[in-house]
Structure 1
Amino acid sequence: MSVSKYAVGEGPYGVAVAGGEVWTTLVQAGRVATASGRTFDLDAAQSRPSVIVDGPDDAVWFTRNGDDRIGRIGYDGVVSAVELAGAPYGLCVGPDDALWCTLMSADAIGRVTVDGEVSTYPIGTAGAFPAMITSYGGELWFTLNQGNAIGRMNLDGEVTTYPLPTESAGPVGISAGPDAVWFVEILTDRAGRITADGKVEEFPLPAGSKPHAVAATDDGGCWITLWAAGSLVQLDAEGNVIEQVAFGDGSEPHGLALDQAAVWVALENGSLVQVEG
């Protein structure tokens, strides 16, 4: 595996491949940057831009966890934002081409259209701390970090909850694959997979690694960042670790995204990393 690093600024966190660029949120600096060297100031140092995705409208969208907004940067460089209270964090494009996000402090899921229309839907579990979110099978799936469960919501806001078999697992990252949804358990060093009928399987990861984000692959496997271990691992469709890439102590890998030829990882110590195999 070959590894290339691109210095992008303070605190890279989320990653998206969009519009011919690789984008990252700089959570500590209140900015968004690209691997090619473009930087976008959000005029709010404490905005804490976090998860970023390619939108349906020639733009990237991202959560601003520090000031209750969903940000947007067009491929043309125009920056804007929509207010959405509740500490937005996880973000995905839903089956309806709207932006769906978790609202950590509100125990709710938010929806923002590309025209700026905002709706919120309660998840029905107090103190569950919804984290990451993904779209799968025409619905929204999300991790409940303090609820120790995976949530599922249809477009009408109806929620189903699937408790995890391991107690105090701390699920965070989640990503839809071709036939199941992958997630990671940061407190118990496991990856998990849940099918549409609610069947959950768990797979061990290196002890003390604290998995954070996951990106599913077309072959049924996934890539996972190991925050505490400073590395990236690849799992096959059976949950076996088949590849590990080390970035070094203190690198703090968080978000990741896939393109056709590489895996891109945000290292909070200041770099975007391109991994090609």
Structure 2
Amino acid sequence: MNDFREVSASVQELAVSGPDAGPYALAEGPDGALWFTLVHQDAVGRRDPGDGTVTVHPVGAGPTLVAAGPDGAVWFTEYQAHRIGRIAPDGSRSSFAPVTPEGGPFGIVAGADGAMWFTLSAADRVGRVTMDGEVTEYPAPGAFPSAITAGPDGALWMTLNQENAIGRITTDGSGTVHPLPTEGAAPVGIAAGPDGALWFTEIGAGRIGRITVGGEITEYPLPDPACRPHAVAAGPDGAMWFTEWGSGRVGRITVDGHVTSYALSRPDCEPHGIAPHDGALWCALETGSLARIEVTV
């Protein structure tokens, strides 16, 4: 069954940094604010949900992905510093070293067990850090684990970029790998959908993928195979939204596979992260702005 509802989207952009700071990923924090990483400025930003004021927190080198923690703090990976960072509700900052040095932490998410889980892309490992900073690591199910998300089954799901697969790991460290049908798909982003499945981007193949918790995979080719889909998130409209890094657009796919896309300010704005916030979608443009996409169905 196709979704034939007419959908429109209006786009506004907010400059939050210089063009070289590189807004990369973003997430709504436990405080209701929008938090984002400035990967080239070595900082994490916060946009106040009330007056829109932007505050920038200097952190370690190369902050990459960011996620809300169960402790009311915001957690993020520092890819170049090889640490896991935390900003508490009072603004105080701390960081934790993974067991494996120079592992290149990238993805991060809160798990069903009350800990934060992260990927070590350069070390092919997955880490877990408790709220008091205790770190445990497990072998990843495959090569170059990238983004990670919590699944509806209580496990953690991740893209295995260089394995060309989707990985699953339980909270006790047991891993499973699900190879993708398309060669060279190079999956990056992954998020849980409203349909009880996991959705992911195939940056190398120009496709959006869907995997059930039972391991059944469906792939949806995008109209522009060179658009390089990067991040994906569930939207407030019941669809999945994703960034098209190579074309300067954001895309929308319904749970039955109907695809539309919307232009941003310019083709070279380099959209990366995307997340729901204040009833809209927000995405990070590496050219120095955040874009707000308001959806009307």
Q: Secondary structure at the match of 2:94?
A: strand
Letter in 2 for 1:184: T
Match of 1:276 in 2: 294
Residue of 165, 169, 176 corresponding to 2:192: 176
Q: 2:33 aligns with which of 5, 16, 21?
A: 21
Partner of 2:233: 215
5+ residue gaps, structure 1: none
1:57 corresponds in structure 2 to: 71
How far has the Cα of 1:74 moved from its partner? 1.5
The CA deviation at 1:216 is 2.2
* 2:275 counterpart of 1:267: no
Deviation at 1:259, TM superposition (A): 2.3
Cα RMSD, aligned residues only: 1.4
> Matched residues in 2 for 1:124 and 1:259: separation?
32
- 1:146 equivalent to 2:154? Answer no
The aligned amino acid for 2:170 is N
Q: Which amino acid aligns with 1:32?
A: V
CA distance in 1, matches of 2:279, 2:28: 12
Alignment length, in residue pairs? Answer: 272
By how many angstroms is 1:217 displaced?
Answer: 3.9
Corresponding letter in the other structure for 2:276 = L
Q: TM-score, normalised by structure 2?
A: 0.88
Residue of 108, 111, 114 corresponding to 2:125:
108
The question of whether the paired residues in 2 share the 8 Å contact of 1:8 and 1:34 is answered with no
| Percent of matched pairs sharing the same residue | 47
Which consecutive segments of 4 or more residues in structure 1 shift more than 6 A? none
TM-score (norm 1): 0.95
1:224 aligns with 2:239: no
Q: More deviation in 247-256 or 211-220?
A: 211-220
CA distance in 2, matches of 1:204, 1:243: 13
Quick check: 1:219–1:237 contact (8 Å CA) kept in 2?
no
Kindly state the Cα deviation for residue 96 of structure 1 after the two structures are TM-superposed: 0.7
Match for 1:252 among 265, 270, 275? 270
Amino acid at match of 2:28: V
Contact 1:221 1:238 in 2 (8 A): no
Task: Give the distance between the partners of 1:169 and 1:199, measured in 2 at CA.
Answer: 16
Find the counterpart in structure 2 of residue 90 from structure 1. 107
Corresponding residue for 2:22?
11
Q: CA deviation at 1:220?
A: 5.4
Distance 2:249 2:46 in 1: 21
Q: Deviations over 1:124-158 (max 9, x none)?
A: 54xx1110001111001000000000001111111
Answer whether contact 1:11 1:28 (CA < 8 A) is retained.
yes
Structure with larger RCO (C-alpha < 8 A, sep 6+): 2
Superposed displacement of residue 207, structure 1: 2.1
